Amino acid sequence: MPEPTQPLPESLTPVRDFNLWSAFALAFSDISPIVGIYSVFAIGLASAGPAFWWAFPVVLVGQLMVTGVFGDLVSKWPFQGSVYAWSKELLGARYGWFANWAYSWGLTIAVTSVALAAAGFLAPAIGIVSPSGIETSLLALLIVVLGTGANMIGARVLKWLLYLTMSIEVIASLGIGIVMLFFHRIHPFALLLSGADTAHGSGWLFGPFLGVVAITGFSFLGFEAAGSIAEEVAASRRVLPKAIRLSLAAAGVLVMFAAMSLVLSVPDIGQVLAGKDTNPIATTLVADLGPALGRGLLVALALGFTSSMIAVETAVSRAIWASARASELPFSGFLSKLSGPERLPRRVLGLVALVSGAFLFIQNVNAYTLLVSGATAGFFISYSMPVVAFAYARLRGTWSPGPVSMGRVGGLVTWIAAAWIVAETINVSWPRNSYGGVWYLNWGVVVMAAVLGAAGYAIQAWVFGSRRRAVELHLDPAGEGQGF
């Protein structure tokens, strides 16, 4: 990838329409406190008791170490694609390609799953009480189309949309936390130290709690999205480290505060532990604030999941486009073209919408579960690759920082981050018996990592082989006529 001192043609250079706060809004929306709370709360409380809450600070500290690494990397290499660009600069084109392969699939599948979740909340909010699978898929497809449209229109519309949804998320999560903690708390703070007989001692720590730590990892993903648009951000070398770190810190504090307030306000924890209350957030809010809140809660949840989906789509489109610009994908000549006055990767956005939209109509539960496992594998593998490569660069003594760095603590933070992300990746991939003994679902993350890895190996061998042959024949490997 060329250094900034070697300017690219204007047709391959995005317009710098983002600043610190709009990059922060993108990353914050990608993380999404509402998504973080709602997707983890019920299963965490049911499987590990009220003390599951401590998984939030554990995961947050680990991920903040990762933001330190990402901040150093984006300050030195402020290129489109975040984890892809950094991995490529650290250990070469093929290593970066695999990071991007994992990242792109993880995010594309995430667009599907988040859109389906948004549709699940939007349907009852607009009067569809018991939507069928097809109705939910069609509603999710509409959400994907609208989100893609917001991304295609331009940065100005996208920024204000992100500001709006971010404000709604902050008000909703902070407001719920304050109201529940100060006006409807029914349990003492000591409840946060109780596993509620889900297990005892080390059995709880290395059983239910370790499982919750794996699940909670999904509450604190997406902060790298600010780095995915690096070439669209003014003063990116100095701005983006702040945006990456602040977005996770702000979202993490909101998630922990709102989750703590909700735990201490659940009217009947026994019902949750017995599996009789599968939606304790809604139960708690309705019990304390009345049924009139129901529709407003559904709308807020739908907005939170939709804004997260839009931010995810923004991030993945830039990663795929950056790889196409480097002639590392099939049909790179077509995919690398930017369009409109803001020079947006609309062709890639259309491709992401097409693939994620097709996934929406997978009605087989087992097949969809494997698909989500593929997203899980993609996220954590793609996060691990630049962190481990960065630790290796520091070990070899080849690292030289950009204008913003962690300074003297950089080495320590890097080693903690590497140990954390590798351990969490193993923890997330561990085959727990969560699917009634169906082995390929329990091993889903490993299975999908192997499948995607094998497919990726074949494609990258063809792509890089084609590039090498093109160079030998003195052809332009980015040319549309090459087909790669």
Percent of the chain with pLDDT over 90: 62
Place domain 18-428 in its CATH homologous superfamily. Amino acid/polyamine transporter I (1.20.1740.10)
In terms of pLDDT, which residue wins out, 3 or 214?
A: 214
Percent of the chain with pLDDT over 70: 94
Q: What is the pLDDT of residue 482?
A: 34
Q: What is the pLDDT of residue 38?
A: 87
Q: How confident is the model at residue 1 (pLDDT cuts 50, 70, 90)?
A: very low
Q: What is the pLDDT of residue 310?
A: 95
pLDDT per position as a tens digit, 88-107: 999 999 999 999 999 999 99
* Cβ–Cβ under 8 Å, residues 283 and 118: no
In terms of pLDDT, which residue wins out, 7 or 139?
A: 139
Q: How confident is the model at residue 476 (pLDDT cuts 50, 70, 90)?
A: very low
Average pLDDT, integer, range 342-351: 94
Query: What is the pTM assigned to this prediction?
Result: 0.91
Q: Which amino acid is at 155?
A: A
Q: What does the domain layout of the chain look like in residue ranges?
A: 18-428
